[in-house]
């Protein structure tokens, strides 16, 4: 999710870089943009600064403009899959009602969320249709309406949803969905609750 917040910031920074740091063609150089972003984070809380440092996967995605060649994509899948942790009792389904609240909450890691006053949310609705009764939702990701029902609530689908929320890049290298579990943004229990919201027969997503 922080990627979503960073993108507008980066754009604003890139635009405001303007003439002072512009290259010949009128575009700011990558170094100038990096410097402005770093300057912008000077007063930020220390735990924000880690966001300026790309991990290996982010570097590979940047270098390939999110289109890694097959060998690179396979390396990303392998590396990201290895970060996924599973509940010890093997139960991937939590409480769909709690999951519903989380799926609709965009709280967490925004400037106004410091110091944190409530749990982070999954912000799923910002990119996906879920409950068909919901009027407002984003379309960056595919519709998840009836996602569980269409897949007959099958166990492999439950596992896929858990893994995709925990770390979508394990199956979709350089995709646009945040790595909620691996980044530490959501806890394992929160992820289980959201899996139940997507995959439980009682959930409004599957009505």
Q: Which residues bind ligand HEC (CB under 6 A)?
A: 1, 4, 103, 122-124, 126-128, 140-142, 144, 161, 164-165, 168, 172, 175-178, 180, 194, 198
Task: Considering the complex, state which of residue 1 and residue 13 has its C-beta at the smaller distance from ligand HEC.
Answer: 1
Residue 191 CB, shortest distance to ligand HEC, in Å, is 8
With CB atoms as reference, the residue minimizing the distance to ligand HEC is 175
Dihedrals phi, psi of 75, to nearest 5 degrees: -65, -40
CA–CA separation, 80 and 166 (whole Å): 10
Chain center to CA of 63: 20
Task: Considering the complex, state which of residue 28 and residue 181 has its C-beta at the smaller distance from ligand HEC.
Answer: 181
The answer to whether the beta carbons of residues 170 and 163 sit under 8 Å apart is yes
Task: Considering the complex, state which of residue 34 and residue 95 has its C-beta at the smaller distance from ligand HEC.
Answer: 95
How large is the angle between the packed helices 30-40 and 2-17, nearest 10 degrees?
120
Residue 145 CB, shortest distance to ligand HEC, in Å, is 12
Task: Considering the complex, state which of residue 36 and residue 61 has its C-beta at the smaller distance from ligand HEC.
Answer: 61
Residue 97 CB, shortest distance to ligand HEC, in Å, is 15
Residue 56 CB, shortest distance to ligand HEC, in Å, is 18
Residue 172 CB, shortest distance to ligand HEC, in Å, is 4
Peptide bond into 47 cis (omega under 30): no
- Cα-based torsion angle of the residue sequence 167, 176, 118, 94 in order, rounded to the nearest 10 degrees: -40
Task: Considering the complex, state which of residue 18 and residue 142 has its C-beta at the smaller distance from ligand HEC.
Answer: 142
Instruction: Using DSSP, state whether 28 is helix, strand or coil.
Output: strand
For residue 118, count CB atoms less than 10 angstroms from its CB and return exposed for 0-12, middle for 13-18, buried for 19 or more: exposed
């Amino acid at each position: 999710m922080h990627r979503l917040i960073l993108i507008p910031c980066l754009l604003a920074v890139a635009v405001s870089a303007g003439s002072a740091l512009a290259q010949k063609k009128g575009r700011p150089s990558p170094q100038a943009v990096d410097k402005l972003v770093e300057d912008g984070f000077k007063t930020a809380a220390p735990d924000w600064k880690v966001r300026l440092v790309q991990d290996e996967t982010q570097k590979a995605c940047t270098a390939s403009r999110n289109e890694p060649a097959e060998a690179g994509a396979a390396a990303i899948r392998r590396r990201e899959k290895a970060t996924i942790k599973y509940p010890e009792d093997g139960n991937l389904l939590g409480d769909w009602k709690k999951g519903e609240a989380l799926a609709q909450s965009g709280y967490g890691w925004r400037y106004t969320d410091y110091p944190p006053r409530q749990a982070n949310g999954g912000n799923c609705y910002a990119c996906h249709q879920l409950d068909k009764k919901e009027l407002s939702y984003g379309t960056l990701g595919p519709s998840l309406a009836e996602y569980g029902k269409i897949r007959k609530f099958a166990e492999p689908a439950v596992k896929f949803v858990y893994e995709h929320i925990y770390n979508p890049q394990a199956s979709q290298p350089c995709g646009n969905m945040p790595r909620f579990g691996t980044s530490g943004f959501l806890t394992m229990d929160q992820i289980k609750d959201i899996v139940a919201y997507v995959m439980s027969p009682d959930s409004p997503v599957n009505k």
